[in-house]
Amino acid sequence: MKYILAPSILAADFGNLKRDVETVARAGAEYIHIDVMDGMFVPSISFGMPVISSIRSCTDKVFDVHMMVEEPGRYAEAMKKAGADLLCVHQEACVHLDRTIQQIKDLGMKAAVALNPATPVQTLSCVLEQLDMVLVMSVNPGFGGQKFIPYATEKVRTLRAMADERGLDLDIQVDGGVGLDNAGQLLNAGANILVAGSAVYRGDAAANVREFLKVFEERAGKG
């Protein structure tokens, strides 16, 4: 299993966004997690396509775009053009989830679905085979710096068991309140991609990335 760190730029300094993306990319983060909020699906508004295109040139790392947007299929093509490699839509925001997943794949992006804390993993039973990744939210989406909801760990465990049973090589990402204190527990439960906003950008971002990578190495060493 390959472990990946996805720093969330929501916690970066927007006035120095290129610098902050480059810092985590150079330190070894393989994904850049990009939180798009529409003020409808979640209360807050973050940023959209112009910001994403303007940082696309500073790294060739995977742009992992988390759409906290109602009916995100409306923006799939624009996100691809802006530089998204992976598009993650919320199950709760898509009336025709199957169609939205197909749309993302037809555009040549990796397709992922995010689940709010209260949404059970079984809701993805019919579409699991079509997905590259599932994002288990461990806070209610909308803001950085919130407290980790402990039952998310059990959801990861259930999802990994579902994927294993079907022989699927599914990426499982966890987002919200993730830090060095709970990273090991999440990997043990079956997650392989961790999103971290404040835990990376609070203090020395490069050093924080390296600390996460150490946890990954330790876990990989255990087989």
User: What is the torsion angle, in degrees rounded to the nearest 10, for the CA atoms of residue 100, residue 106, residue 110 and residue 115?
Assistant: 10
The reply to whether 141 sits near ligand DX5 by the rule CB under 6 A is yes
Q: Is 175 a catalytic residue?
A: yes
Q: How far apart are the C-alpha atoms of 223 and 218, rounded to whole Å?
A: 9
Out of Zn ion, ligand DX5, none, what residue 146 binds, judged by CB under 5 to 8 A for its kind, is ligand DX5
| H or E stretch covering 34 | strand 31-37
Q: Spell out, one character per residue from 174 to 213, where the chain touches Zn ion: x when CB under 5 A holds, - when not.
A: -x--------------------------------------
Please compute, for residue 69, the number of CA atoms within 13 A of its CA located in the half-sphere on the CB side: 24
Give, as ranges, the residues between 190 and 209 that touch ligand DX5 (CB under 6 A): 195-199
Window of 22-30, 33-41, 57-65, 102-110 that interacts with Zn ion by CB under 5 A: 33-41
* Annotated catalytic residue within 35, 38, 64, 171: 35
- Single out the segment in contact with ligand DX5 by CB under 6 A; choices: 92-100, 169-177, 183-191, 203-211: 169-177
Q: Which distant-in-sequence residues (6+ apart) come within 8 Å of 71 by Cβ?
A: 93, 94, 95
**Shortest distance (Å) from residue 68 CB to ligand DX5:** 6
| Conformation bin of residue 55: beta by default, left when phi > 0, alpha when psi is -120 to 50 | alpha
